[in-house]
Amino acid sequence: MDDLVAEVLQGSVRAMARLITLIENEDSRALYLMAALYPHTGNAYVLGITGSPGTGKSTLTDKITSVLRDREQTVGVIAVDPSSPFTGGALLGDRIRMQRSSGDAEVFIRSMATRGNLGGLARTTADIVKIMDAFGKDWVIVETVGVGQDEVEIAKTADTTIVVLAPG
């Protein structure tokens, strides 16, 4: 398990993807793993993107990512979508609108389902931000679920929160 943390710190994308899965599943070793990573966090700028469904959060995430890449910054993206309260399954469609970034190996995009958590994020989203931060991403962009009126949990995690609204 220490190997996994070491590999993440050395820049293994595969290790980061697997570690995210462990944390997402709230594995019994999660706390221990996060403790090992924590000293390496605090360097990434965390940008939250929230707003109503269909206003363009994913599209904006893709565009901002592309501007950051032009400035030679590395980017991690966490795209959160809701889980079905009936089946527990989820359709994660944010990648469709992130085509420009998805061909770029320096951009790590991870789709997450809320798994029953309210507030626009999954319960473990903040930990996944820390993993991408420790990995060495300069920026971590968190795109929330399409939200209504009071899902503002992202503001606690992000350094800057952008609220995307439809005109009119």
Partner 1 sequence: MTAKKRIKVIMAKPGLDGHDRGAKLLARVFAEAGMEVVYTGLRQTPEMIVEAALQEDADVVGLSSLSGVHNYFFPRVVELLKEKGLHDVLVVGGGIIPDEDIAGLKKAGVAAVFGPGTRTDEIIKFIKDNISGS
| # chain residues binding partner 1, by CB under 8 A | 33
Q: At 77, is the secondary structure helix, strand, or coil?
A: strand
Among 32, 116, 155, 166, binds partner 1 (CB under 8 A): 116
Residue 109 contacts partner 1 per CB under 8 A = yes
Residue 111 contacts partner 1 per CB under 8 A = yes
Among 1, 10, 11, 14, binds partner 1 (CB under 8 A): 14
Query: Which residue's CB is nearer to partner 1, number 108 or number 139?
Result: 108
> Which one, of 2, 32, 7, lies nearest residue 17 by Cα?
7
Residue 3 contacts partner 1 per CB under 8 A = no
The amino acid at residue 56 is G
Q: At 29, is the secondary structure helix, strand, or coil?
A: coil
Sheet containing 45-51, strands listed edge to edge, beginning at the edge strand earlier in sequence: 107-113, 75-81, 139-143, 45-51, 160-164
Site string for partner 1, 16-55 (x = CB under 8 A): -xx-xx---xxx----------------------------
74 CB contacts (<8 Å, ≥6 apart)? 106, 107, 136, 137, 138, 139
* HSE of 57, CA atoms in CB hemisphere, 13 A: 28
Query: Which residue's CB is nearer to partner 1, number 105 or number 165?
Result: 105
Residues 78-107 touching partner 1, rule: CB under 8 A, are 83-85, 87-93, 95-97, 99, 102-103, 105
Q: Could you tell me which residues are beta bridge partners of residue 109?
A: 77
Which residue ranges make up the site for partner 1 (CB under 8 A)? 13-14, 17-18, 20-21, 25-27, 83-85, 87-93, 95-97, 99, 102-103, 105, 108-111, 113, 115-116
